[in-house]
Every structure is written in structure tokens, then in C-alpha cells.
């Protein structure tokens, strides 16, 4: 339990130089439960999938908002919908497959059937059998639909919200995020496949990791040694007006190997002796006129949209308690990719995902924090690189966007929940 003095320190330090986050927010179940209510079921939009995952009428995909199972569907009018995957009768999963195509959603338990918007359309034995049984006379089908979430698509990314009062999704994202989504989703995409990894740590450690341009060249040797990303690159760390989302981008063409080597000195991750036998892994194409080669767009609370070289992917966070989350990577290319481009994307996938020569290391970064803070009630982290405030930076030596995340978190959940 935090003492009063400790609590004061937390507030003081956050408003002055540096941000301090109490480690208990990563380990204590009451924070996790409050997050489910206030963030994932609260005044937020969560990412649930790509429209390209459900292209045809009747297509569906099972996924999650936070820990709540939901279904993303495409109806016969072409609209996408998100409903809670829980029968209105006695709570069974209506959809037990990961994905598929169906004319309607039918619960196997008692065959209650719903249309693709989640409206109840069939109840077996509703009027009884042979004059016996049946639902009460005042049973009103329209009052027993699946829980329907507000659903909005932005550039083919589908978001859903439990809240009736939250602003529109576009407003929630803000112009910077919308512009970046539209930059990558600039033409029809094709899904290349999924990857899933279970990370034994708190989901917010990954939210920090993806708002952190400071670590990227110090943890990841591939980024640094091969110049895919360096903090010396031309790039920016920007936030939306609310500072809950984060955009990191950089331009590899700005590398100056000699000067960069000097800047990094003896850093483990700038290893000029490290060579690849087969450099085809790093051969790509310039795809965007702006020369930007790395974009990590971290969208509060559960999405990363990324471009690393020619790899394009969304990463969705699914929570499984305070000390475990799943990261679902859905990789895509464009429908007009030629054969060579398809091959480039498949080969560069070696860089990202759970087996990615870069991305695998973020799983370990999360777990070594989680393992070190177990049972810690009072201590805090200290986040101050770049000045210690939630401010944009026209460089990559900053942790400002992490602080932006925590400012929003403190508002929605708080750092000082009283033990129940």
C-alpha cells in the first residue's frame, strides 16, 4: 500500500522533471479490473480488426476488446459490426471458431440465432411444443440481441467501443493518427497472415515499449547496426492533442555511418563486425514518397500500426490478467503488389513478429520488467529522457510519448486505487 508521502511524491515528480509510474499498476489486479471497465469498456475505441479480414458478406472473425470476447462481422449490406460473443440467453459463446463465413450467428447450446448485426432472429420452441412450454407471452425478441458495440472503420481499420458517449472514432484518434492510418492504408490491402505471441507481462509495458524511440537502437542490434533505425536519424516523436496516441517515424536515408558510430561509441548494438552472409533479407524498395522507412503508430489503448522497411502490420493487444497479454500480428501487403514485392514482404517478416530478428526482443524487454517488479507496492519507474514531459520532439531521444500515455491512464484509471 502506498503511503501518503509516497503518493505526494508521485504527484510532485510527475508535474516537475520526469514521470514516475508506480510498479503496482503492472501487477495489482484491481488496476487490471479498473482498466477493463474504464478503458476497454469505457470512453475509448479499441481496434478489433481489418476490414480486409472480413471481405465478404457473412465473414466473421472472433477477437477481443481487452479481455471481452467479441465478433467482427460483415453483413449483406457490406457494413461491419462488432458484437459481444455471448449469447443473450445463458451466456454461451455464440461463435466458437476463429474465423469463417455464416449467414447468421447461431449459439450451439439452444440454437438461439442472431443476424450478422447481432439482432435475435430465432428462438427454438419459443411458443412451446404441443401446447407445452414456450417463452412467456411478453417475451420480446428485440430486447435480447447480442450486445452491439459502436463500430467505426477508419481507412479499413475497424474500431469498436462499448461507450455510447465517447466522441466519434475519428475524433478519438485525432488528425495525426487518421493521416498516418490513411498513409499506410492508401490502397486496397491483402492480408498475408497472422502471428500470435503470449507475453508474460503487463500489457502497459508494451504500450510503453511502442512509444519509446529511446530503446529501439539500444535494445535492437539489427536496427542499429544495419541502420534500419537509429536515434541519430531524422525523425519525430509526435502525439495527438490528447497525447494518448503516439507516432514515431524515421528516415533511414539520413544515416551517416561514421558519425553514427561515433555517437554510439562502444554500444553493444552498433557492431560493425556483425555481418550477414545473405543480405537479401534487407533488400527492399522505397514505397512511400516521403522517404519514411519506419513508422510505429501506437494507438491507445490496444493497437500498433507499423511500417518497418517493407513490412506492414497491425499489432493488437489482448489482455489476460495483469501479468499476461497476447499480441496478435496481422501482416498485410497491397493488392497490387507484384511478385517481387510479395517476396520482399514475406522475407522481411523475418525482422518482425515473435520470431522477428528485431521484434522478438520486445517480448523479453517486457518480461524482464515484470519479473523484477513482482510484489512491489511502493517503488516507481523514472521516465525523463527528452525532458520528462509529454511533449512532441523533432528528434528520437525522448520518452515524451510514454508520459503522454501515463497522463491519460492516470485520468482514466488513476495511480492510487485504494485496496478493496
Binding site for another protein (CB under 8 A): 98, 191-200, 219, 221-222, 225, 271, 274, 276-278, 280-281, 326, 331, 346-347, 349-350, 353-355, 357, 360-361, 363-365, 367
Cell digits of residue 396? 528520437
Q: Judged by CB, which is closer to another protein: 106, or 326?
A: 326
Q: Judged by CB, which is closer to another protein: 188, or 193?
A: 193
Q: Least distance in Å: CB of 144 to another protein?
A: 33
Q: Judged by CB, which is closer to another protein: 108, or 343?
A: 343
Q: Least distance in Å: CB of 122 to another protein?
A: 30
Q: Judged by CB, which is closer to another protein: 253, or 343?
A: 343
Q: Judged by CB, which is closer to another protein: 74, or 331?
A: 331
Q: Least distance in Å: CB of 17 to another protein?
A: 30
> What secondary structure letter does DSSP report for 196?
E
CA distance 402 to 357: 24
Q: Least distance in Å: CB of 61 to another protein?
A: 12
Q: Least distance in Å: CB of 194 to another protein?
A: 6
Query: Nearest CA to 329 among 319, 317, 315?
Result: 315
**Other C-beta atoms lying within 10 Å of the C-beta of residue 87:** 22
Residue 201: strand pairing partners: none
CA distance 37 to 41: 5
Residue 129: strand pairing partners: 132
CA distance 53 to 59: 8
Q: Judged by CB, which is closer to another protein: 47, or 226?
A: 226
Q: Least distance in Å: CB of 148 to another protein?
A: 28
> What secondary structure letter does DSSP report for 129?
B
CA distance 105 to 400: 45
How far from each other are the two terminal CA atoms of the chain, in whole angstroms? 11
What does R_g of the chain's alpha carbons equal in angstroms?
23
Q: Judged by CB, which is closer to another protein: 63, or 151?
A: 63
| Sequence-separated (6 or more) residues with CB below 8 Å from residue 77 | none
CA distance 183 to 290: 10
Buried-state track 217-254, b at ≥16 Cβ within 10 A, e below 16: bebbbbbbbbbbbbbbbbbbbbbbeebbbbbbbbebee
Q: Judged by CB, which is closer to another protein: 96, or 196?
A: 196
Q: Least distance in Å: CB of 196 to another protein?
A: 5
Q: Least distance in Å: CB of 284 to another protein?
A: 15
Q: Which residue has the cell 553514427?
A: 260
Q: How far is CA 269 from CA 23, 206, 224, 227, in A?
A: 28, 21, 6, 11
Q: Judged by CB, which is closer to another protein: 29, or 198?
A: 198
Q: Least distance in Å: CB of 40 to another protein?
A: 20
Amino acid at each position: 500500500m502506498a503511503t501518503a508521502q509516497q503518493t505526494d511524491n508521485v504527484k510532485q515528480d510527475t508535474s516537475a522533471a520526469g514521470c514516475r509510474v508506480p510498479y503496482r499498476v503492472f501487477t495489482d489486479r484491481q488496476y487490471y479490473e479498473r482498466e477493463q471497465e474504464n478503458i476497454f469498456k469505457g470512453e475509448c475505441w479499441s481496434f478489433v480488426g481489418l476490414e480486409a479480414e472480413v471481405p465478404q458478406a457473412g465473414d466473421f472473425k472472433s477477437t477481443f476488446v481487452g479481455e471481452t470476447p467479441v465478433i467482427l462481422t460483415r453483413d449483406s449490406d457490406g457494413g461491419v459490426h462488432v458484437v459481444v460473443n455471448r449469447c443473450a440467453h445463458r451466456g454461451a459463446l455464440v461463435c466458437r471458431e476463429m474465423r469463417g463465413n455464416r449467414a447468421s450467428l447461431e449459439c450451439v447450446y439452444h440454437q438461439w440465432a442472431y443476424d450478422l448485426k447481432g439482432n435475435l432472429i430465432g428462438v427454438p420452441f419459443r411458443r412451446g411444443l404441443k401446447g407445452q412450454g414456450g417463452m412467456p407471452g411478453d417475451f420480446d425478441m428485440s430486447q435480447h440481441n447480442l450486445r452491439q458495440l459502436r463500430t467505426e472503420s477508419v481507412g479499413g481499420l475497424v474500431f469498436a467501443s462499448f461507450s455510447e458517449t465517447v466522441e466519434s472514432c475519428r475524433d478519438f484518434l485525432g488528425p495525426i493518427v487518421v493521416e498516418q492510418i490513411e498513409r499506410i492504408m492508401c490502397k486496397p490491402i491483402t492480408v498475408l497472415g497472422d502471428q500470435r505471441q503470449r507475453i508474460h507481462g503487463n500489457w502497459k509495458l508494451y504500450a510503453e515499449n511502442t512509444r519509446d524511440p529511446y530503446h529501439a537502437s539500444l535494445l535492437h542490434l539489427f536496427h542499429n547496426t544495419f541502420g534500419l533505425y537509429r536515434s541519430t536519424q531524422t525523425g519525430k516523436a509526435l502525439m495527438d492533442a490528447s497525447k494518448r496516441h503516439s507516432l514515431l517515424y524515421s528516415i533511414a536515408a539520413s544515416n551517416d555511418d561514421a558519425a553514427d558510430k561515433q555517437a554510439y561509441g562502444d554500444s553493444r548494438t552498433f557492431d560493425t563486425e556483425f555481418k550477414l552472409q545473405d543480405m537479401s533479407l534487407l533488400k527492399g524498395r522505397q514505397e512511400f514518397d516521403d522517404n519514411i522507412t519506419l513508422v510505429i503508430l501506437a494507438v491507445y489503448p490496444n493497437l500498433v500500426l507499423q511500417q518497418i522497411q517493407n513490412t506492414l502490420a497491425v499489432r493488437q493487444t489482448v489482455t489476460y490478467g495483469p501479468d499476461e497479454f497476447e499480441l496478435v500480428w496481422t501482416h498485410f501487403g497491397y493488392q497490387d503488389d507484384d511478385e517481387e514485392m510479395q517476396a520482399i514482404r514475406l522475407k522481411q517478416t523475418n525482422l518482425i513478429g515473435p520470431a522477428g530478428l528485431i521484434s522478438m526482443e520486445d517480448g523479453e524487454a517486457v518480461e524482464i520488467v515484470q519479473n523484477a517488479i513482482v510484489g512491489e507496492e511502493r517503488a516507481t519507474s523514472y521516465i525523463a529522457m527528452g525532458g520528462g514531459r509529454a511533449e512532441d520532439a523533432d528528434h528520437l531521444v525522448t520518452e515524451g510519448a510514454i508520459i503522454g500515455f501515463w497522463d491519460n491512464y492516470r485520468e482514466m484509471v488513476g495511480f492510487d486505487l485504494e485496496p478493496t
